[in-house]
Structure 1
């Protein structure tokens, strides 16, 4: 391509020089410093002109136009022969400079390629860390580093989830094994048998809750397969009915604000789990004589309790699987059995599946305020209609 452009440039220079020389000769004429006495022959590019002296004037046997044209062609040829090597040298210099500049410009790309080949699932903590001006390559490298950071966090979260799930499932199995061993030693009496039955039943229930939570979390992470009209106010009312006895035993008062409907489109089963997990957490992580305030509006569900103080730097960790918070927070009045540590993780996953978000903030006097923002029915319909 470069040589082709040089050829076009050379042809343009040649034709331009030829036309310019011819035009100059036509304007100023042809002068000769030496006048010959005898006929002489002037040869220029194959044209012969015979010159004689007559009264001090040079006369030609050929027309002046042919002589001018021949001189112009000869001068243009001279320009051409000098231009060819000059353009050749220029081409070599341009190729060398272009090769050097291209290699220098592609050096960051080679560095990113080499780094990307070194990265695997076990070395996601590596970064390109490209230095230099804020150009397209620098922004590309920074974007790649951000992607690696998100992947590293996702893989780390998955590894922790698997490890914690294995640990949580192992605990009730160990309890069951110990209870069975106690029951098999000697001749167990009625009290020992009752103790074994109680331990086995409690461990079985804990395993069941944990497995149900894991399945629910996996289900909500996959997203929604179908949507149907749901009134969040009715869902809250239904969940409060199932929570009445537990709240009464914990001596926790539940107050509900907002009696109007709050329609949206979603999965009623998943939304029931979202509301139930929020309400149970608010009741269980509370003080005797405390209260839970529930507010239902179109597009939002807010739950606030009067439980123990939650450090601000610990709030976001509560949404991670198997995070139970501080010892004081997990020692609620109604907690007859330890929870699975999946409640708020399930809440956030279900909210994301419905296109919503969940935020939490500590209450200055103690407790936690959790707000689930869910798109109302009209926004869900508009989102599906948008291209």
Structure 2
């Protein structure tokens, strides 16, 4: 256990070096053992074969006679001479094996040293990108997320890891910047009505006549209502950013019709006509949030219009679209309208102007339902906002469209 604890305290480079070195040493040891066994078996079988097939000189000799010819196979041999031959052969084989084992052991030691050195060098090169990633991550600060690894290396897993880390840093930088803008804008939007309330109270109540008190009361009530709407919008935006807690089948055509009916009086007050082309459409989601989505789009289309203007509401297969007339919207402004507190025109602090959260809430609700929301500026003025829900919806042919 102590050895494992000591090993765990080593760096990744040392651990990988030991691992690679141990694997190479074990492989080399097995190779030396295999060669030793094969050579030993080969020597034994060869010596036995030679002794059994080659007959030595005959067992008897006659003094004074000439050397006999080489005996033919099968003649009797001297047992003592045969035993001596076998002993000498075994000793020679043992000497060969000993020298082989000694030389292989020395080679294995040298191989182990070279292997550890190569493993240390190799792991250093392999882990270099990891070190670069670690160094970059340590130098990153909350206020400065502009650093990138930009690893220059051939394609591979570590190159992909470094590129993924760079992409992650880019997304985090965008999120942090958006969060800072959101907090700053929210603080500004909350500070403005509070300042107006304080000024109204100080000026209006300096000489508290009944008329001034009534005007101050009316002004404070309107500002309080605007602040309440702003806080509700912020809470709704935060809730939709977390996703849906429950899903159910929602008749979006009915939701759109009900919302249009609720806003019809506001449209008449502003002298804006509303045209509906509504077909049956059912989507999976949250009915309350979908009602907020339709309400925000229609409310913006009515509010940011002009007297005598129009609003067209279309609900078709998988699509909710609202188009309105009104002032021209610059093309470069359209993408930023979905950001919190963004408006097509500068804030005027007029009554009922809104906090600039409508389309950002629409975008968040659409994302929670897996839908895609887009907007485009109309050539003659106004804006067209379209929400495309996932999947396709087949209208009921026996159910007529709702128009008005």
Common topology (TM > 0.5): yes
Alignment of 1:57-76 (within 5 A): 61-63=81-83, 64=85, 67-76=88-97
**The residue matched to 2:370 in structure 1 has which SS?**
coil
Choose from 254, 271, 283 the match for 2:274.
Answer: 254
Offset of residue 54 of structure 1: 5.1
Q: Tell me the CA shift for residue 359 of structure 1.
A: 1.9
State whether structure 2 residue 251 is matched by structure 1 residue 216. Answer: no
More moved, 339-348 vs 217-226: 217-226
Q: 2:378 aligns with which of 363, 370, 375?
A: 363
Question: Take 2:69 and 2:87, find their aligned partners in 1: how far apart are those partners?
Answer: 22
**Runs of 4+ residues deviating >6 angstroms:** 26-30, 56-60, 376-379
Name 1:136's counterpart in structure 2: 157
For the 8 Å contact 1:282–1:305, the answer to whether it is kept is yes
Q: How many equivalent pairs are there?
A: 351
Q: How does 1:151-230 map to 2 (within 5 A)?
A: 151-186=172-207, 188=209, 190=211, 192-230=212-250
RMSD: 3.0
Q: What secondary structure sits across from 2:276 in the alignment?
A: strand
Look up the match of 1:10. 32
Residue 354 of structure 2 corresponds to: 339
User: Which segments of 5 or more consecutive residues in structure 2 lack a partner in the other structure?
Assistant: 1-21, 53-65, 72-76, 395-404
Residue of 268, 271, 296 corresponding to 1:277: 296
* Contact 2:250-2:287 at 8 Å conserved across structures: yes
Match of 2:168 among 141, 147, 163: 147
Q: CA deviation at 1:187?
A: 5.4
Give the alignment's TM-score, normalised by structure 1: 0.80
**Uncovered stretches (5+) of structure 1, i.e. residues with no partner:** 31-52, 380-387
Question: Following the alignment from structure 1 to structure 2, what is the Cα–Cα distance between the partners of residues 82 and 347?
Answer: 80
Q: 1:265·1:376 contact (CA, 8 Å) conserved in 2? A: no
Change (3 A) 1:67 1:366: farther
- Counterpart of 2:6 in structure 1 is none
Which of the residues 302, 307, 332 maps onto 1:313? 332
Shift of residue 107 of structure 1?
Answer: 1.4
Q: 1:233 deviation in Å?
A: 1.0
SS at match of 2:263: helix
Segment drifting more, 121-130 vs 229-238: 121-130
| 1:102, distance to aligned residue in structure 2 (A) | 0.9
CA shift in 2, pair 1:62/1:25, >3 Å: closer
TM-score (norm 2): 0.77
Between the aligned partners of 1:179 and 1:323, the Cα distance in structure 2 is 27
After alignment, is 147-156 or 13-22 more displaced? 13-22
Q: Which one of the candidate residues 318, 342, 350 is aligned to 1:323? A: 342
* Higher strand content, 1 or 2: 1
